[in-house]
Structure 1
Amino acid sequence: MSGISRSQSVPTRNALPPRELLDDLCSRFVLNCPKEDLQSFERILFLIECAHWFYEDNAMEQNPSLKSLSLREFTSLMFQSCAALRPYIAHIDDIYKDFTSYKVRVPVTGAIILDESYERCLLVKGWKAGASWSFPRGKKAKDEEDHMCAIREVLEETGFDISKLLNVDHNIEVTVGQQRVRLYIIGGVKEDTVFAPQTKKEISEITWHRVDDLPPTNFEASSRGPNGMKYFMVGPFIRPLKAWIQENCPPLTTNGEASVKGSSTCVWKAKSSSPSSGSGSGINSLIENIHSMESHPSKGAVLSDDFPGKSFRNFRFDSKYILQLIDDTISSQ
């Protein structure tokens, strides 16, 4: 029996998503969402980001030939596929830049989970190669309260429900750049607690880390520890966290047991992690074609330098036009 070569047994992930799949994702995540979520490109791109997660987590699993795409690449394909967004393709660079600028201003909340000795905290590591360690946290949804966002994000990233342990007054808040980050302190969690993320391909490892081993910083979001580990949005919290622990830590009842343990203890680890998204010649060629389209505005992309409340540089966001096209599309289905 002849052996199967690696090229035959392992499918090559280089196929772009077909039009039918893009249309389905557009229908699920954009066309059928509440109209208030279609009032700005910031909200629309958050919807496209959800579609991108679904594509990476589910569509690629069902079709091993599909190529992993960055959010920027996926956004270009969605704009080309969706009739309501197609008139804005010529402005996609500005739209995406403004979206990324907007994202770093969205408030973030989460939790610092401490073990029973108050000597260790729980950190999660991102999925992609070279990812950093951070406290479980995430961006607030529209009209979401800080503590509710923290409960939701911690549950998604660790599988642990902090709702009954959370005290809204026990928090540390810092501002890094233009982003406000609030972390609620959850003390006394047993080290044998079972942790596991509820989301796919977002968290690759969950580990207890000694607080004393984490490098403090002032306003720098990224840092490296003596062990070479990369940390993100951890350093600015270490000094105020130690002060909080000194004031709130109950008397130890473990006879120093926790202090003799190693510097970190892994409590959950994915079987495998996904390499970072790459850019193949096919998608690059497609994006170049999109960028090379005529730059004059078509119907729905109205030039305006002073449209109030919008950050885009050279055109107006016409929500009425987009909503009308979406209604027409849904009616024709």
Structure 2
Amino acid sequence: MRERRYPSDTTDAEWAVLAPLLPVPACELPTGGRPEKHPRRNVIDAIRYVNDNGCKWRAVPVDFGIPWRTVYGFFQRWRASGALARIHAELHQMVRLHDGLNPRTVAVILDSQSVKGAETVGQDSRGFDGGKLINGRKRHLAVDMRGMALAVMVTKASPHDSIPARDQLFRLRLTHLELAVAWADSAYGGTLVDWSHTFLGITLKTVPRRKDQDGFAVLAKRWRVERAISWIMRARRNVRDYEGLISHSEAHIMWTFITLMVRRLTRPPRPPRAAPHPVEPAAMDDEPKPIRLRTLPPSAIRLAPAVLS
């Protein structure tokens, strides 16, 4: 067993939470396969080291005892097989149960972040954000009221936020049938509000800027997703987009949240807030009424107009 000397290494308590969620090794499947040569805990530590410190895959320290190609192979296979998304979803429910909440949230907050793309990002997967004056990619997040991400999507930086938001909301509806309300900034307003309510059954509410606001200001509901974006930027691999594939950019963000959620599960539950956040009044006129979980199957989602024969 190697000595764990890096801040990104898993503790014994974190490994006890994460180990049962990993995919079954190929040698234990009915189809059979070659036994894995390297301990999986070392593989997880190496992936978290790259994500936390922002180094190249070829610069993985030798004290992990694993070739960098093997570490990258696990990172790519778990992403392509859907195992990474499954681990993220299960940890999200575990965190909510750990905090005494319903494992399935009915409210989310949406926002996006534009980041510069390195020279390794191809022209076919990057764009120019005219509002932020950034040439690169844009990250679209959907978080719950605790700031934990439900969905992560990366696109070119050029499209307006309301365009990728349709795809993001559609994915949320397919994976979270209980979702009922979403908050976002004014960029998600307009026709997107009617579209999400008509076709997806999701009530989209916009939180506008204050009339006297000059520069950045903490706003109600939106501060939760802004805090989640700051958590992403703590991992240096996410400060700039270096990935040739968009799916790998999403995988690094998911690894950041997986590390955050595993650490939260090893700590005492967060006590509920005794008083509302300073930027959120105790009572709001547009505050939704208590939402009950749906017991009936949702109505069919209309993908395209029916073709009359």
TM-score (norm 1): 0.30
Q: Return the structure number with greater strand share.
A: 1
TM-score (norm 2): 0.31
Structure (1 or 2) with the larger CA radius of gyration: 1
